[in-house]
Structure 1
Amino acid sequence: MSVDQQEGGPGTGAPRVMDSKWAIEQCNEWLRLHERVPIPEAERERNERAERAG
């Protein structure tokens, strides 16, 4: 297999650049399913403040 094929080059049918939003959602879903790590309270508060700030 050539480097182009591994990287999703021409003729492989694979996109060179993934949709980053989709990739993040998939990563978060995988973490929820496999890790089951609770979000630390400080991080949750920071996220809520960021959402309120807009």
Structure 2
Amino acid sequence: MWDAILWIIALIVGIIGVVRIFQRQFLWGIVLIVVALLIGPGGVSLFT
């Protein structure tokens, strides 16, 4: 259950990061993508 919730949160944060990059806010975009990779259950999760 928690994996699904973390995956959804990571997906949303990653999409927002990509949108920020397209809006030429590169720093925020990169930070959000890195955060998405850290909290996502497929990546290096901070919670497990």
Between structures 1 and 2, the one with greater helix share: 2
What interval of TM-score do these two structures reach, taking the shorter chain for normalisation?
0.3 to 0.5
Identify the structure with bigger relative contact order (alpha carbons < 8 Å, sequence gap 6+): 2
Which of the two has higher C-alpha Rg?
1
Structure-1-length-normalised TM-score: 0.35
Structure-2-length-normalised TM-score: 0.39
